[in-house]
Structure 1
Amino acid sequence: MTIAYLFERFPSPTETFLAREVAALRQRNVSIEVYALDAGDGAQKIETPSPALKLGGKAKFFRVAGEKLGLQLQKRGVSHVHATWANHIADIAQHAAQSAGITWSFAAHARDLWVDGSDFSQKMKSAQFAFACTRAGESELQKHGENVLYVPHGLPLDNFPFETWEKERETRIIGVGRLVEKKGWMDLIAALGICQRLDNRGHTFRAQIIGDGPLRPLLQKQIGALGLQDSVVLRGALKAEEVVAAMQEANCFVLPSRRAADGDRDGLANVLLEAGALGLPLVTSDNDGARDFADESTAFLFPSADASALAGAINRVRTSPALTAERCCAARKRIEQHFDIAKNAGIVERAFASLI
């Protein structure tokens, strides 16, 4: 049985978790072919119709793209097509499956579920099953059908060696994520402005935010307005291995996610798991996605969009070393139990095997 995995872009620096899923399934001898609208190494291109067809509506464009892909999958002997997102990628997968006379499924994560996705009742009736990576996403999809599987993202833990946390005089803060509203970087910068006033008590900090996006000019301006230009840097986007190296040089990880004005919100951010696996103290907002992993035993939580509370959480990391070390160990243990890609890929494998 060969399964086609559909991507928007492959490989993608912001979707390493999906590449890990494919790799873990292949290690289990699952036959997978990767298809993408923007195809790089390791993927076959999804052929799309003329852009002029979009003038007739996106629905028609994606239908024709799916029909063209269906013919391609028939020739390749593909038995099942899986969309890695619940947005237009799922629309293409659905049309491809109908064209080829095969089964299909999709996964839902964050924006594709809360903002971009549509007509889930129809999708759930047509798909064999759907994967949700958070409990909140699972609950949302279950409003439209019962064939939902909870499959949390996982990590190849050998690539994330745990290091015991020890208190140091300087707090080296790192945040990783696109520079968009839902990531809450404006709240982190505001909180660091508060933390700066604590420096005269013997606590100093440096902070770096890795990622790029449309809010970069606004965030840079905020850094300057608060006089943080010597202690806070926006590093831009980095390769996955460079992000891990930067995390290993830090001693505090912050993810201040919030709900954006358009309804967009984080799922369980993979960088939160990566930082926790490495042994970094975790400071994160108490949001739906994070709750699958982060609580007061594994992280330092604060209410979303509350810069003062965020500053307080960072300060607790700096002033409560025994508690911080305890939560770092608890976070790693929970990741080993529930977020090991070698284990979680088994859920996906069994779902695909049930189709035979």
Structure 2
Amino acid sequence: MFKIAVDAMGGDNAPEAIVQGIEIARDSLPNVEFLLYGQTDKVLPLIQDDTRISVMQADDVIAMADEPVKSVRSRKQSSLVLAANAVKSGQADALFSAGNTGALLAAGIFLVGRIKGISRPALMTVLPAMAGDHDSFVMMDVGANAENRATHLYEYGILGSFYAKEILGYSTPRVGLLNNGGEEDKGDAVHKEAHQLLKSGSAAGFINFIGNVESREILQGPADVVVADGFSGNATLKAIEGTALSLMKMIKQTIMNAGVIGKLGGAMLKPALKQVAGRLDPEQYGGAVVLGVKAPVVKTHGASGPEAVAGTMRQINTMLETQLIEKVETFVSAHKDDLAARETEE
């Protein structure tokens, strides 16, 4: 029986959406128990069926605007910290929150703990691919680290490949380095060095590196794993999300302003447009994962509803069933000398 520790108070719609999502997930995951940490007077009345659901009192809540690291270190009775400590102590197998992203990252790194041999855990998300061999791809880092060394990017290629293979089912994930051009000598010193490290890792058989990819082409599926420094990855992700929202709004406004004929045409196109909107909806691809820590630590969007929460629970269950973290730890332990050598060379 897997146990998932849940920050029941994190997120814009907490605790209502969290509890509802947990109950949906519970009904489809018979091998999972959910440990909810939150204010019991607010959480307990929302539970319709407490089968495999336990609620533990948390006197404090880390809000979205709170300073992440300081809050995690000082607010020991917050719902997020208590949930993270449950994973640290072995009472739970995974950690979930829809709350403060920075605080979840801090809790994952400082409480759950970094995998020995991984120098910089990162935030990974799954995005839709509009063309190519697969319908989605992995991208990391998308905001955990504003600055990176080349060896960090090399590690992201390895971590992302494990996720793409074990969770998405891609047999030989193609790894691309996000850069400002496809040529090998493009980018700053960090990205040039990262290119060479990824290339050498590919030659050693650790990853399948295909070279640089540009932000304008990543939605076309040239790579199954897109490696980025945290600043560029986050900026690219937000640009994609903003463009998708603006595009759908523009289409709707254009149809509504086109008169009767335009509205009739829009009505005929509505099913197709809903399908496109669904492909661009980040919630359908699960939560963002903190990769490089000792247990699954997953963050879903703060505004997520019950279905998105339930989907993220299924994502965590898959990570546990496939023993993703254990496989990463085994690989890193077996190749610790190689990873250390690349760090030294840099």
Report which structure shows greater RCO (CA 8 Å, sep ≥6): 2
Higher helix proportion (structure 1 or 2): 2
TM-score range, shorter chain: 0.3 to 0.5
Question: TM-score with structure 1 length normalisation?
Answer: 0.36
**TM-score, structure 2 as length reference:** 0.37
